[in-house]
A and B are shown apart, each in its own frame.
Chain A
Amino acid sequence: DTAVSQTPKYLVTQMGNDKSIKCEQNLGHDTMYWYKQDSKKFLKIMFSYNNKELIINETVPNRFSPKSPDKAHLNLHINSLELGDSAVYFCASSQETGRAFFGPGTRLTVL
């Protein structure tokens, strides 16, 4: 059983388009995250959601917006895509111990 799943795995799109990445976790965790991993492999937290409330919003462009329809889902919407948005995006979830469970990642390529 997949604990944290993301779709799509690969996403290739043109500059200026709007796209979404979906994430689902079946672990019953209260907190979900989105991380961006750039070409240098640096992981940066973008958003954190707890019980459907945004509790941490890092300094990312407002073109990025998280949407959580329920506790098990945290989708990432990106408007007006730019070249610099090309990266691997990881969804994760965690519970009280703080250990994060990661999805397989979505490789976004903006042309």
Chain B
Amino acid sequence: AQSVTQLGSHVSVSEGALVLLRCNYSSSVPPYLFWYVQYPNQGLQLLLKYTTGATLVKGINGFEAEFKKSETSFHLTKPSAHMSDAAEYFCAVSRGSTGGFKTIFGAGTRLFVKA
């Protein structure tokens, strides 16, 4: 079985500070890993994804994440937070199975950015 754990339901940073959102996963086979962002009253949008290849993945809006197999982690970072980054962030793991893929989401982390 696969699962996703996001450490910290709320993270607060100052504008211009480093953003670090933590995600750990468990999967019996190499998974595909994703970060999604949800702005207020909107659906989910893909930030970035890891499938194979380079373990450091760059996404939109200056975000990046590093896949560390030994730590079963896929933490999301951004060097300098912007007010517009305030949103809910979801880590997700997807694994193929007979007939299709199943995507499981973490509980989400709400990012607050202070002026």
Binding site for B on A (CB under 8 A): 30-31, 33, 35, 40-45, 48, 50-51, 53, 55-56, 90, 92, 94, 96-100, 102-105
Measured in the bound complex, the distance between the Cα atoms of B16 and A107 in whole Å is 34
Q: How many chain B residues touch A (Cβ–Cβ < 8 Å)?
A: 29
A interface: dominant SS:
strand
Instruction: Check A97–B43 contact: CB distance below 8 A.
Output: no
- Can you give 6 contacting A-B residue pairs, CB < 8 Å? A31-B100, A50-B99, A55-B97, A55-B100, A94-B94, A100-B94
Point out the residue from A45, A51, A55 that lies within 8 Å of B103, measured CB to CB: A45
Across the interface, which residues of A come within 8 angstroms of B110, CB to CB?
41
Binding site for A on B (CB under 8 A): 32, 34, 36, 38, 42-46, 49, 51, 88, 90, 92, 94-105, 107-108, 110
Instruction: Check B108–A42 contact: CB distance below 8 A.
Output: yes
Instruction: Check B108–A98 contact: CB distance below 8 A.
Output: no
List the A residue with the shortest CB-CB distance to B94. Answer: A98
Q: Would you give the shortest CB distance from A11 to chain B, in whole angstroms?
A: 15
Q: Would you give the shortest CB distance from B8 to chain A, in whole angstroms?
A: 13
A42-B108, A43-B108, A55-B98 as given contacts; A94 in contact with B44, CB under 8 Å: no
Instruction: Check B99–A43 contact: CB distance below 8 A.
Output: no
Instruction: Check B88–A97 contact: CB distance below 8 A.
Output: no
Q: Would you give the shortest CB distance from A40 to chain B, in whole angstroms?
A: 8
Instruction: Check A90–B43 contact: CB distance below 8 A.
Output: yes
Q: Would you give the shortest CB distance from B109 to chain A, in whole angstroms?
A: 9
Point out the residue from B32, B43, B100, B107 that lies within 8 Å of A48, measured CB to CB: B100
Point out the residue from B98, B101, B107 that lies within 8 Å of A94, measured CB to CB: B101
Measured in the bound complex, the distance between the Cα atoms of B91 and A43 in whole Å is 11
Instruction: Check A105–B43 contact: CB distance below 8 A.
Output: yes
Beyond A53-B99, A99-B94, 15 extra complex contacts between A and B, CB < 8 Å: A40-B107, A41-B88, A43-B44, A45-B103, A45-B105, A56-B102, A98-B32, A98-B95, A98-B103, A100-B34, A102-B43, A102-B44, A102-B45, A103-B43, A105-B42
